Structure 1
């Protein structure tokens, strides 16, 4: 079958080649984790032949799809990441197939649009961040400041603190970073109007308290089996794969597991999707307070009706009254998705720092 695809890749008609590119990429994504090394080599060869003459929009679509597939061969990912920014941005921001050395090479040689895409990655080592800050212009530097997954060297932190004095958006982003020293935090607060400074200080304290709740007895929660694993027609790993491939949505899976009251596997799925350790997700699920799990779900765009069903399952697990569930829903409706995502980023950095300590 793959050999015949190689022959089809030689098709000269652009419409047929575009259609074939979509079919081959879909076939590759569907079972990327099952192919042998020989099959992966054939797929890579076919895709490379097809993208050589593909139009920009077709290459961009392919890059967007393959960027989320960890099995994408490194050479194919690097080829797309080295292309025009409209094509490369997906690989640069999302692909795990690119190595640290790949990213450093691209950061040293590409233009501002490429640097901006790299600056938005979930995790950036300080060595790479330094290159982006050195070569990047204002949009790149603002993006670094706003990215809690961007590790800052001592030099990088000093640079951003200096820029914060005259760049209000960058300063705003810096106040929400979880890796600020107390000295840097107070310096930033002093640059804000008094009422805004107090608001930021209060929010920072609340977020820190939430991190403490998530950390508290997290290991014991998992070891003690506080959430019962229930039989379900859905397999968690299959469901997770379907979410990532676009066959189903997180909301649909979230609702199905809530209806079946399979909170153990739901904790696993939420942990994988949010890139959090499952012990922390399990911990917030079994605690009475709703703030931790509400932040997680709102940040992942879980709908109100789906969250309501989850609250009912959670309330039954904790043996709580309807009034308690209604209060949870009111809190959830007041929480904005943007704020939840900001808090979740803060939590991730603080948890990482706590684990390192």
Structure 2
């Protein structure tokens, strides 16, 4: 299929033509290629590639940007031409190809990521698939916006050193922590490392916005960080409370209403023993949950036990003790988090607590 000779004097255009004649030739040949690309075989692509690679760099930037946009959609775009355009300083030209062209190979992406500026890194970060060799460079060289973008790209892959660098950068960037913490490929140790270095408010926000299938893993990591295996600083004697709860049970009066009454009366041992009997969770586990600084664990336990918000709220207030009141803002935030929390997710976290306690 001899398409190139349809433009008379083509060799002369490439070697000696004035800018206008070269631009005209580049436009005509580009249109020929774009119109027939779906039917071209590799030898035809090579023919066009050799011609256009000599013509297109001499055209106006606007023309190169338009051509780059159209070539970025093609799986058989001329590879040498694509390589030339992707390396250009002007992001309007390089950007479309860096974002989505399947023709650009990994070594080229790595080289461009090492040599070019933040706009080029940002464009590469938006590719449907970004290999770990490329993300290593992006995490090392990228500014805050770039690193946030690559962390939020589900198609990006990270090496172990790359992930470690990403987690280190997240220590002082709450937005980045939220993106990294929601990635499906983050391991349990990496998630724990990420949350250990983040602020408490960021941890709570991550748990709130995470997908249901991620909440359990995040809750488990938060439980480990908060010291789930550690014994309570206050040693409680639950013997009398357990006898009182047993008597209620035998009388048929052990229910959520009784638990709510204990919590409102600040009868902590009875409330913990009642909650243990109603939920099937060990007293030691509930005692440990009640003594944590955050209310998140109480929300998890309450949802897993099927409690109403009024009872969970009373347990939060009970944890503070008599004479101390939770702020209206904190209680409203806790209520919203409780309503969003799925019972199945909460139960998985509680099961983890139980396993840890048994161990």
Structure 1 length as normaliser, TM-score? 0.50
Structure 2 matches for 1:208-247, cutoff 5 A? none
User: Aligned equivalents of 1:207 and 1:98: distance in 2?
Assistant: 39
SS in structure 1 opposite 2:81?
Answer: helix
The alpha carbon displacement at 1:26 in A equals: 3.3
Gaps of 5+ in 2: 218-359
1:40 matched to 2:45? yes
2:124 corresponds to: 118
1:66 matched to 2:105? no
1:7 to 3, 6, 9: 9
> 1:66–1:72: 8 Å Cα contact kept in structure 2?
yes
1:149 corresponds to: 155
SS in structure 1 opposite 2:73?
Answer: coil
Which one has the largest radius of gyration?
2
> 2:98–2:127: 8 Å Cα contact kept in structure 1?
yes
CA gap 1:61/1:32 in 2 versus in 1, 3 angstroms: same
The alpha carbon displacement at 1:83 in A equals: 0.9
CA gap 1:201/1:124 in 2 versus in 1, 3 angstroms: closer
User: Aligned equivalents of 1:3 and 1:41: distance in 2?
Assistant: 15
1:182 corresponds to: 188
> 1:2–1:39: 8 Å Cα contact kept in structure 2?
no
SS in structure 1 opposite 2:74?
Answer: coil
- After superposition, what is the alpha-carbon deviation per residue over 1:307-356, rounded to whole angstroms, capped at 9, x for unaligned? xxxxxxxxxxxxxxxxxxxxxxxxxxxxxxxxxxxxxxxxxxxxxxxxxx
The alpha carbon displacement at 1:37 in A equals: 4.2
CA gap 1:52/1:44 in 2 versus in 1, 3 angstroms: same
- Structure showing greater relative contact order (alpha-carbon pairs closer than 8 Å, 6 or more residues apart): 1
1:29 corresponds to: 34
Structure 2 length as normaliser, TM-score? 0.50
Aligned Cα root-mean-square deviation (Å): 3.1
SS in structure 2 opposite 1:166?
Answer: coil
User: Aligned equivalents of 1:34 and 1:202: distance in 2?
Assistant: 44
User: Aligned equivalents of 2:57 and 2:187: distance in 1?
Assistant: 49
> 1:5–1:46: 8 Å Cα contact kept in structure 2?
no
More displaced 10-residue stretch of structure 1: 50-59 or 34-43: 34-43
CA gap 1:53/1:179 in 2 versus in 1, 3 angstroms: same
User: Aligned equivalents of 2:82 and 2:73: distance in 1?
Assistant: 11
The alpha carbon displacement at 1:167 in A equals: 1.2
